[in-house]
A and B are shown apart, each in its own frame.
Chain A
Amino acid sequence: MAEKDSRPLRAGVDQCVRIVQSQWTKPPRAAVILGTGFGGLTSHINIEATFPYSALPSFQHPTAVAHRGQLVCGELAGVPIIALQGRVHYYEQFSFAQITHPVHVAAALGCELLIVSNASGGLNPRYRSGDIMVLEDHIDLMGSRNAFTASERSAPVRWRQPHFYDAELATMAISVGRRENFVCHRGVYVAVTGPNYETRAEYRFLRCIGGDVVGMSTVPEVIAAAEAGMRVLALSAVTNVAKPDAPDAVDAMEVVDVAEHAEPKLRAIAMEVVRHI
């Protein structure tokens, strides 16, 4: 089990807000968490300030492949946003408080929308490598819900709605897929701890309980955002589709490569959604 950091992170959130606002005074409308392969979005942001995670209290430095660690502030499609380039994961032995800290900072800065992306393994046999899936719901097999304790909360809970994922934004994302002519599904994300990829028996299990894709991130951040009253749009780049009856090894570098090829699709959705808020 990951060690829990029970220190109240509230002070860290306030300090981060002060540091960001000392250099960048625009009120951000949205925060974007750039998962595996989505880092390239930053080249489409009109960057006005950047902060390495090391300069921000309680931010943790990512150890995963293809994850940098910096907060980027600027405008995307003319809208002030912040982008979190690189995230930390439960499999790196970070606590849920540490994983969700950047989301609490985003909420405290005034972001009303969280766009979060990840790379995932496809369970649904109709999915293909390179497809995008808009999260309609999730199954938390990572234990995230249990891991949030009152002492770890850095902000009061402000549930906005009973759904984690904003249906209107999801529909908008799907329509971008039609317009731009790429395959964009609506489906269920199963979160597991990792770090190993699943066995064939585990793929069958996750498919049988209703999962469309499986990954090792996103759910903690989504729960934190929903608790803070933010609207959430979560996008998954399907990097490989599990075929438990004809197994094939998963290669981490191939995952990163496919996710990077999916980047223009994620970008098109993110820009459209940001434009509309």
Chain B
Amino acid sequence: MLELYGQVEEAVAAIKAKWDKTPRAGIILGTGLGGMVDEIREEASLGYEEIPNFPKSTAVSHRGRLVCGTLNGLPVMAMEGRFHMYEGYPLKQITLPVRVMRAMGAELLLVSNACGGLNPYFRNGDLVVIEDHINLMGDNPLIGINDDRLGPRFPDMCEPYDRKLIDKALEIARKEDIVAHQGVFVAVAGPNLETRAEYRFLRTIGADMVGMSTVPEVIVAVHCGMRVVGFSIVTDMCLPDALEPADVSKIIATANAAEPKLRTLVRGVLAAENV
């Protein structure tokens, strides 16, 4: 991990050459939140290939650019397109943008994803505010010799997701009449979807939803001292005794249909930051 500090500095220098504001929040736009970028008053935009040490994204429906600007007046940096372990990237590389956001000055990380629902009370298209996570990816972005300039050797994880922001998001959802649960997100490497036996296993160990992203970024955000708020869109219910084959185009359609609701929560949470 001793190489990361220099890599972060190089990326920050490249971004500051185009945009030198201090962002209040970093945003990772997952599947179904890509449209949020339209709400950002864009002041600069960099393709990932223009930023030193950023990997290039390949997943369906993810573009690859960093958008800097203001969202309802709050300076933000948003990643349009994210990286996944199943694409073959090392977790240290996937999570580098989070360290760059922190080094630019962001104290809050907002992440979103599309997930499979394990909790039978969930429905397709519901929103879930991530309350906690289980890392079953089999890897950790913090493995290596720790650089104390970036964060502590053994970061505590008793509250990776900011409780106040969870409550704020749920309150906004109630006011706006949006179905929003809170739940435990389990991260797996993928890329295959789970077997029925694996869905039963993940439910048994306490997970409400499953996905292939987000947890590495959150671990790194906690390591570097950021507050985190995370949202999942349930795009496909994973009920092992009534399992239907997953259809990627349906998943993306569900995510897109849920997007306005998620945007409402994101706007509300960020507005609460802007005081």
Cβ B140 vs Cβ A91 within 8 A: yes
Question: Residues of B contacting A143 with CB < 8 Å?
Answer: 138
Please tell me the size bucket of the interface on A.
20 to 34
Cβ A201 vs Cβ B184 within 8 A: yes
Other-chain residue from B138, B139, B157, B206 in contact with A196 (beta carbon distance below 8 A): B157
Question: Residues of B contacting A209 with CB < 8 Å?
Answer: 205
Question: Residues of A contacting B160 with CB < 8 Å?
Answer: 199
Quick one: CB contact mask for B134-171 with A, threshold 8 Å, 1 for yes?
11001110111110000011111111100000000000
Interface centre among A196, A209, A251 (most CB of B within 10 A): A196
Interface of A is mostly: loop
Residue in chain A with minimal CB distance to B220: A196
Residue in chain B with minimal CB distance to A65: B153
Q: A91-B142, A201-B132, A202-B135 are in contact. Are A195 and B154 (CB under 8 A)?
A: yes
Give the contact stretch, choosing among A75-83, A131-139, A175-183, A242-250: A242-250
Cβ A201 vs Cβ B139 within 8 A: no
Cβ B158 vs Cβ A194 within 8 A: no
Tell me the bound Cα distance from A249 to B206 in angstroms: 21
Question: Residues of B contacting A195 with CB < 8 Å?
Answer: 140, 142-143, 146, 153-155
Tell me the bound Cα distance from A90 to B159 in angstroms: 24
Cβ A198 vs Cβ B146 within 8 A: no
A10 at interface (Cβ–Cβ under 8 A)? no
A205 at interface (Cβ–Cβ under 8 A)? yes
A204 at interface (Cβ–Cβ under 8 A)? yes
Question: Residues of B contacting A193 with CB < 8 Å?
Answer: 139-140, 143
Cβ A250 vs Cβ B144 within 8 A: no
B192 at interface (Cβ–Cβ under 8 A)? no
Residue in chain B with minimal CB distance to A208: B205
Cβ B207 vs Cβ A201 within 8 A: yes
Question: Residues of B contacting A200 with CB < 8 Å?
Answer: 132, 158
Min distance, Cβ A94 to any Cβ of chain B, angstroms: 10
Q: A199-B134, A204-B206 are in contact. Are A93 and B143 (CB under 8 A)?
A: yes
Q: List 9 A-B contacts (CB under 8 A).
A: A91-B140, A92-B144, A93-B145, A193-B143, A194-B154, A198-B157, A199-B157, A201-B134, A205-B134
Beyond the given A1-B139, A63-B145, A201-B134, please list 16 additional residue pairs across the A-B interface where CB-CB is below 8 A. A194-B140, A195-B143, A195-B155, A196-B154, A197-B157, A199-B132, A199-B133, A200-B158, A201-B133, A201-B186, A201-B206, A202-B133, A205-B134, A208-B205, A250-B158, A252-B152
A residues near B, CB below 8 A?
1-2, 63-65, 90-93, 143, 193-202, 204-205, 208-209, 247-252, 255
B residues near A, CB below 8 A?
90, 132-135, 138-140, 142-146, 152-160, 184, 186, 204-207, 219, 222-223
